[in-house]
Amino acid sequence: MEGRITFLPSGKTVQVRPGTSVLRAARSARIHLATRCGGNAGCLMCKVQVDAEHADALTPPSDAERRKLGPLLDQGTRLACQAKIRGNAVVQLPKDPLKAAIRKQLERQREEEELW
């Protein structure tokens, strides 16, 4: 039995074997998810959001996740390198900080143009 994971906001979906990490699934879907530690729960860069309705589609948090994320776990934050797929899941990827900064600058420019 395979699991299916959908990555938001892109909507890309990929089929994977149960036990596959969210990070590995993202890579097989050709979705970039930043990490520096090589998937060892060391850098906290691969945080993703999981709604409560999809939480059971991932394995329970590992001890490493509990230590690193603490109360963020209660808000649906998981480490993609540690969370493993065991059903059909939907995860929200973090916003790319560079794209967010560019978008914000473009919005400012539009506002300034409207003033003139």
For 31-92, the DSSP string reads -----SSSSSSSS-TTEEEE-GGGGGGBPPPPHHHHHHHGGGGGGTEEETTT-BBSS-EEEE
State yes or no: pLDDT of 99 exceeds 80.
no
Tokens of 7: 């990555």
Of all residues in the chain, the percent with pLDDT exceeding 90 is 57
* Contact between residue 13 and residue 80 where contact means Cβ atoms under 8 Å apart: no
What's the CATH fold of domain 3-115? Answer: Ubiquitin-like (UB roll) (3.10.20)
State yes or no: pLDDT of 32 exceeds 90.
no
State yes or no: pLDDT of 100 exceeds 90.
no
pLDDT (0 to 100) of residue 97: 67
Match 């299916």 to its residue by tokens: 4
Model confidence pLDDT, tens digit, residues 49-96? 999 999 999 999 989 899 999 999 999 999 999 999 999 999 999 876
Tokens of 42: 């060391």
State yes or no: pLDDT of 101 exceeds 80.
no
pTM, two decimals, is: 0.78
C-alpha–C-alpha distance, residues 110 and 116, integer Å: 10
